[in-house]
Structure 1
Amino acid sequence: MNFIQNTIDDYMKIDSTIITLVTIGLITLITILAYSLERYLVSHPSTYLKIFFHLLEGFGLALGMAILQKTFHIVNHGSINNGWLYANAQMTIMLYALYLMRNRITLMINLVMPFVYHEASNFQRLESYKFPYFVIAYLVLMGVTIYFYLNQDKLINNARKYILCQAIYGVSWWLLLWVDHNFEFYRILDMVLVFLIYMAIIRYCERKMQETLNGYDHLKVAVNYDELTGIRNRASFDKTVKDIYQTYNDNTNVPLTIAMLDIDRFKKFNDTFGHSTGDNVLRHVANTMERTLFLKNTQGQIFRFGGEEFIIIFRGKTTQECTPIIVDLKNSLTDSPLFLNGKQLDVNVSFGVTQLKDSDKSFKDLFERVDSYLYQSKNSGRNSMTVEGQTTKFDNK
């Protein structure tokens, strides 16, 4: 009980508070790093990039440990006072990084770290009666660490096993520290209790941070994606074109093609069958186009521009390369008609297609040209595509 009271008193000291705050700060930075890299990797899948990110996460963990060690020495003026607090802080960061990052680099850091504390050159340990405890403690630590690494998802959903693994991890570490440091054996329980409290606080903060990030994701989806069709909306299109116009305008050797499409006689669907049918038609066209673009690996990105109009951006492709893609999009729509209440609804579309030219002074020039080509297709009897002023009926294709 006296040790627990001393522990509470130690937490009230300014140097202990600094170490705790630094630990929480490092946990926050590690979390942001891991989530940022993971999100980027999801949108840019690459084996080499994954390996690089894992190395970067491992470096971030090692740097965090070094910062914590430096902070401890500064606040304690080079002494080892409150060393138990520092050890618990490092254990918390290592186990949390293993849980969060889920890569072999953090696993190896956890397995190698005991030999940073216990240098292999310390041959006196071989002669100590405590050496068997070191071997047993390390084997248990290695086992629980690997188990934690391989069963993270299951442990998260099982609070008892999760806390038990944390407790075994903490006990193993404090047994390793007990081998080289003189303190009463029973105090290991007090130190492990503090470690579990540390982990509970960090886990709570991580969950709140994850909720915040998820809320940001939901807000981002709401802002950038069309609620009805699920594809990117006009706001997302406006943001995208600002970047791509400048990029492709500066690099004239790489083509950029824009296709604009409109659902033919869309008003008829609303007037004849009702607005709910019109909504189904919009979803059908958007989903068919997006699926075809993805399955055929076209690199095309589709947006709902407004009403029944959609825009597709083809990066790095000429109008000649995009023409067969447009035909495939039209054929996919024809081959997968929409059925509602036992009735088949044949949906036709018209396209305008143009490529960025050297004469375009702004994106407005490119947009006005593709818009005029679209209306040229509609004025030519619809169910057509106009590529750089040349109109072709899809039926003839």
Structure 2
Amino acid sequence: MAIRRVECLDGLRGLAALWVLIGHMMILTGFRLPLVSKPDLGVDLFILLSGFLMVFQYQLRAGSEDWSAPGTWTAFWTRRFFRLAPLFYVTLAAALIAGPAIYESRVAIDTFLGQALQPHERYTDASLANIAAHLSFVFGLLPDYAFRTALPDWSLGLEMQFYALFPFLVLLARRIGWMPMALVAAAGGVVVALLAGAAGLDWPMPSFLALKLQLFLCGMLIAADPGEGRGRSWMHLGLALLLAAIPIGGEQDLLHFAVRELLVLGFFALVHLRSLGVVDGVSRLLGSRPFHWLGELSYGTYLIHLLILQPVAAAVIGHFGTGLGAAGRFVLTGAVVVPVTYALAFVTYKLVELPGQKLGKAVIRRATGNAVRSRQTVPEELAAP
């Protein structure tokens, strides 16, 4: 590839996590602003970035890894497991232990705001089946377990399904090309999603890969080397815009359609149109040190925030009641939740995430019998919550 580092990835990951955090704060305090109060769109941005990052790193390693060899797939899956699992397991334990107390907080919030109560089992199910489904990351495939903890972890199950499929998408793209692969995969996803719906399967969140595969494919197309000729990059963009418009997986109103299209357009511009002064300036800003750290803490922020947010929002409501308006509840809740969440994200980044990634590299070295030297030039981060 012509580019060796994509500066904007750091900032975009960080902004996606912040979008999810602020959106959930709005939902749980009754304060609303257009667009920002839609945290699912922040998750869509994560998904787009994840598809991009996996292909980007694949192409950086293309000269040193044989993707026709199953050992390469195993190394890929190992890297991704140790990127997601360590912090997820820590926060999962916290969510299971604190689940009943967090559920009481959520009941107080929803009762006060006149919102439908959440199913109690989402917060209180500490059964072996639920724990096993989450430890193995298969919960996203199972409608009964896909949304069954106090964490926003449904997207992690989705992410793991994408990682499982990714080597096969790469092999297909190597055989027939990136655009034909994207068309075949998207069509297959739609068919599987429709068949699942016809069979009566209903996921409380779009945690089943067939419901969101098209957005992963959009990111993959933006990253994929178009070959000779700049025009093929624009063809990749055109196909990505078409795929992003597929009306399955999550809310499908006009706002969500328009924002998903804008996310694809904007990200394409940041990657491929750096020659434009404004775009270059935005990309540099998103790659600056503050945004770099915002991105580094994005995974922890995503996983941790609801564990802090729900008890704090309930406490604010319990103390002030109707004496404090929605905007006041939002500001006061955020004044506590935001610094605490990012502080915990920083601590767990240092104590859990980085050691987990180091352990993953050690496992790969031990399995291959070589001191594998990473040639990647961007952090191997989760681009999806």
TM class, shorter-chain normalised?
A: under 0.3
Relative to the length of structure 1, the TM-score reads 0.26
Relative to the length of structure 2, the TM-score reads 0.27
Rg larger for: 1
Greater helix share, 1 or 2? 2
